[in-house]
Amino acid sequence: MAPSSQSPPSSVSARLEDCVFAVRKRVDREPSVGLVLGSGLGDFADSLENLVKIPYRELPHMVASEVPGHAGNLCFGEAAGASVVCMQGRVHLYEGHPVDKVVQGVRTMARLGVRCVLLTNAAGGLDPSWRAGDLMVVTDHLNLTGMSPLIGADDEALGPRFPDLTAAYDPALRSAMHGAAADVGLTLREGVYAGLLGPQYETPAEVRMIRGFGAQAVGMSTVHEVIALRHMGVRVAALSCITNLAAGISAGPLDHADVQATARSRHADLVALLRAWIVRAGAVV
Ligand code: HPA
């Protein structure tokens, strides 16, 4: 039976089924790989073959970001012979939406049956020897947002109450990323991603603290999506485009326009890397 559009469904999983139902009415695809395309990285979706785009605003319970560089489309297509679904842009917690809206897109991908998801983001680098434009495979995260997508009533239809995050960033998918980088002639950094609420960039004192905590990169996304996906048993990898050195390490002040410009400058390499990763990930999952 079609879910009612009159009154909002009460549970997270009911809202999720509502969204999945709406997607399935629009596309008849069985994506095996999901991609979340962060700041300035969304153009990858336009390189998909047999592309179908659904604007988030046409899907129940999905919200589009107001942030420049985040288009707001769920995109279906093929890349490197695999059926993929991409989030072209994401909404952030700092935009004021509840955390379950922030993860609605990745949960929808999980319900559509993807076996793995690659999350991409723009991040500030914490190691002074790194350079803007470096690419980093995420090995682990620090969730410093004070928020979790799993707060609230337990919803066993989604996953366990206390999910394990020991190997949240799948070791085999990470090595697939290094293999993919070698395939296309790139070298990658590796490190821990610290997720903060934002939207202000960090102070230099905060940057020193976060470095002391053992992170190599800092950003304002990804950690909630990873938690939600691991909760649902989906395998995850993440790639940060180090768009700038973090506050106090960078020679000058930070600016979102520069962040986007640096992400865009790596576009061709990222498209090649993501395609090569999709081929290798297909052999892993
Ligand atoms: N800090 C937080 N988020 C970011 C940064 C940063 O320096 N660069 C891109 N996203």
The pLDDT of residue 49 is 94
Label the pairing between strands 135-143 and 189-195. Answer: parallel
The rounded distance, in Å, linking the Cα atoms of 269 and 239 is 13
Q: Which of 131, 209, 243, 264 to mutate to test the pocket of ligand 1 (most atoms within 8 A of CB)?
A: 243
Q: Is residue 2 part of a domain?
A: no
Q: Is the CB of 124 under 6 A from ligand 1?
A: yes
User: Please, are residues 219 and 210 in contact by the beta-carbon 8 Å criterion?
Assistant: no
What CATH number is attached to the domain comprising 91? Answer: 3.40.50.1580
Q: What is the CA radius of gyration of the chain?
A: 18
The pLDDT of residue 156 is 87
The rounded distance, in Å, linking the Cα atoms of 128 and 189 is 13
Q: How far is the CA of 220 from the centre of ligand 1 (A)?
A: 7
The pLDDT of residue 33 is 97
Dihedral angle computed from the Cα positions of residues 175, 176, 178 and 184, in that order, rounded to the nearest 10 degrees: 170
Residue 133, Ramachandran bin (φ over 0: left; ψ between -120 and 50: alpha; else beta): left
Q: Is residue 66 part of a domain?
A: yes
Task: Detail the DSSP E strand segments found in the chain.
Answer: 33-37, 49-55, 73-79, 82-88, 116-125, 135-143, 189-195, 217-219, 235-245
The pLDDT of residue 39 is 76
- The number of folded domains in the chain is 1
Residues in the chain: 285
Q: Which of 92, 127, 244 to mutate to test the pocket of ligand 1 (most atoms within 8 A of CB)?
A: 244
Whose Cα sits closest to atom 10 in ligand 1?
A: 123
| Residue 199 belongs to domain spanning | 12-284
Half-sphere exposure in the Cβ direction for 34 (13 Å, CA): 26
Q: Is residue 6 part of a domain?
A: no
Q: Is the CB of 220 under 6 A from ligand 1?
A: yes
Other C-beta atoms within 10 Å of 205: how many? 10
Q: Is residue 4 part of a domain?
A: no
pLDDT averaged over 10-residue windows placed end to end, the chain, 285 residues: 52 92 94 91 89 94 78 93 94 93 96 97 96 97 97 92 97 97 97 97 97 97 98 97 94 88 90 94 87
